[in-house]
Amino acid sequence: MHTMHRYIRWASLGMLVLAASTSLAAGRDEWQQPDRVVADLNLREGSVVADVGCGGGYFIPRLAKAVGKSGTVWAEDISERSIKGLAQRAEKDPNLANVKVVKGEAESTGLPDAALDAAIFVNVYHHVPKQHRAGLTADVVRALKPGGCIFLIDWRVDAKVKWDKDCRIPRDDLLAMMTKAGLKLDAEFLYLPHQVFLRFRKPTAAE
């Protein structure tokens, strides 16, 4: 997610029983290019966006600014600690007044049906156990409006960084997972040095 390491222990029923995060390495802004990433989400005043697996909320302030006072940012994570911390921040910071926090589960985000213009995943999928990836994807697709988009950012398999080398997912596997969920790849951004950045769109009823 938006913290570089997320150590997860899953119980036999797939429920999260432990999630802890450490802070990202210094200098993330330089290689993550968060302002450019948020600009490419094409959000506007009144948009509704979810940051799925938001961790400590690295992108949350930028998303809140992008959607404006009439928009909504859903900050979702399976970590009680992360959600509690973000809720406290949102309560104190008037610039985060449009942020709603929601605690998810392995395959259920708790996001409302057909409510999102966009959802963003940043360094999340490689931490999700393989048996839960399809269910999580389907749940986020459920929460998208027709024509809404999932923006998927995750490590390139050959990324020259030290993190998560043992669990990176090949680009083609990410593409296959999203396609199987009924989404269509309609853009790929190539400027991030360590990550793939893919945009998938949910078809409308007319398509």
Q: What is the pLDDT of residues 125-181, one digit of tens each?
A: 999 999 999 999 999 999 999 999 999 999 999 999 999 999 999 999 999 999 999
Residue 6 is classified by DSSP as: E
Is 34 within a domain? yes
Helix, strand or coil for residue 207? coil
Examine the pLDDT at 192 and tell me if it is beyond 90: yes
Instruction: Give the domain CATH number at 173.
Output: 3.40.50.150
Backbone angles phi, psi at 63, to 5 degrees: -65, -40
End-to-end Cα, the chain, rounded Å: 32
* pLDDT one-digit tens code per residue, 24-76: 445 899 999 999 999 999 999 999 999 999 999 999 999 999 999 999 999 99
Examine the pLDDT at 114 and tell me if it is beyond 50: yes
Is 12 within a domain? yes
Is 207 within a domain? no
Domain hosting 160: range is 5-201
Is 50 within a domain? yes
Examine the pLDDT at 15 and tell me if it is beyond 70: no
Euclidean distance between CA atoms 63 and 74, whole angstroms: 10
Examine the pLDDT at 11 and tell me if it is beyond 60: no
Confidence at residue 163, expressed as pLDDT on a 0 to 100 scale: 93
Helix, strand or coil for residue 3? coil
Residue 126 is classified by DSSP as: G
Backbone angles phi, psi at 178, to 5 degrees: -70, -40
Is 25 within a domain? yes
Decide the pairing of beta strands 195-201 and 184-189.
antiparallel
Is 125 within a domain? yes
Band the pLDDT of 18: cuts 50, 70, 90.
Answer: very low
Is 82 within a domain? yes
Examine the pLDDT at 91 and tell me if it is beyond 80: yes
How many distinct structural domains can be found in the chain?
A: 1
What is the average per-residue pLDDT within 80-92?
Answer: 96
Which region among 13-17, 79-83, 194-198 has the lowest average model confidence (pLDDT)?
A: 13-17
Number of C-beta neighbours around residue 57 at 10 A: 25
Task: Return contacts of 160-165, CB within 8 angstroms, 24+ apart.
Answer: 160/193, 160/194, 161/194, 163/4, 163/5, 164/4, 164/5, 164/123, 164/126, 164/127
Confidence at residue 13, expressed as pLDDT on a 0 to 100 scale: 27
What is the average per-residue pLDDT within 7-17?
Answer: 32
